[in-house]
């Protein structure tokens, strides 16, 4: 968590804005689930870290390298690459969660949520469920 995010969060909280929003706590909760796959590229001083959500979605890649091989320390390189990947992942989470909230609000306002859900079910190969049919099924059970 960086200072700028904390200060901005305090400003937003102080304004008492009523609408739904992505919060720093939400971002940090997701960031805590991220794992990092690291590697040193053979024959170089380059280290990489890939930030990955539990779903397998790749959020970001961080990279670090020494200009002079005499200064290369793989453990420090990996630590630096993870730090860069974490910062980029945090930004990506803000972006993706903001999109997800914005889209959900749009779909709700324009009554498109059920159509979007049906499309997702179709893509995943799951049977479409009509809200009326599922209510009728529950009532008759």
* Amino acid 1: pLDDT: 62
Q: Tens digits of per-residue pLDDT, 23-37?
A: 999 999 999 999 999
Q: Number of folded domains in the chain? A: 1
Question: Residue 140: inside a domain, yes or no?
Answer: no
Domain that holds residue 13: 7-127
CB 33 within 8 A of CB 97: no
- Asked if the model's pLDDT at residue 17 lies above 90, the reply is no
Q: What is the pTM of this model?
A: 0.76
Q: Which of 28, 81, 104, 93 is nearest to 57 (CA)?
A: 93
Residue 81 lies in a domain: yes
Residue 134 in any domain: the answer is: no
Q: Where are the beta strands (DSSP E) in 7-66?
A: 35-40, 46-52, 58-65
pLDDT tens, residue by residue, 39-93 = 999 999 999 999 999 999 999 999 999 999 999 999 999 999 999 999 999 999 9
Residue 2 forms part of a structural domain = no
């Amino acid at each position: 968590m960086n200072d700028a995010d904390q200060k901005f969060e305090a400003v937003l909280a102080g304004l008492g804005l009523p609408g739904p929003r992505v919060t720093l706590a939400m971002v940090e909760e997701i960031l805590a689930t991220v794992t990092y796959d690291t590697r040193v590229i053979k024959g170089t001083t380059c280290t990489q870290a890939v930030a990955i959500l539990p779903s397998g979605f790749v959020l970001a890649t961080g990279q670090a390298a020494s200009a002079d091989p005499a200064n290369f320390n793989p453990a420090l390189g990996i630590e630096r690459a993870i730090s860069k990947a974490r910062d980029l992942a945090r930004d990506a989470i803000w972006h993706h969660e903001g999109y997800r909230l914005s889209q959900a609000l749009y779909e709700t306002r324009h009554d498109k949520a059920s159509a979007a859900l049906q499309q997702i079910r179709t893509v995943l190969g799951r049977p479409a469920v009509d809200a009326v049919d599922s209510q009728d099924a529950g009532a008759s059970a």
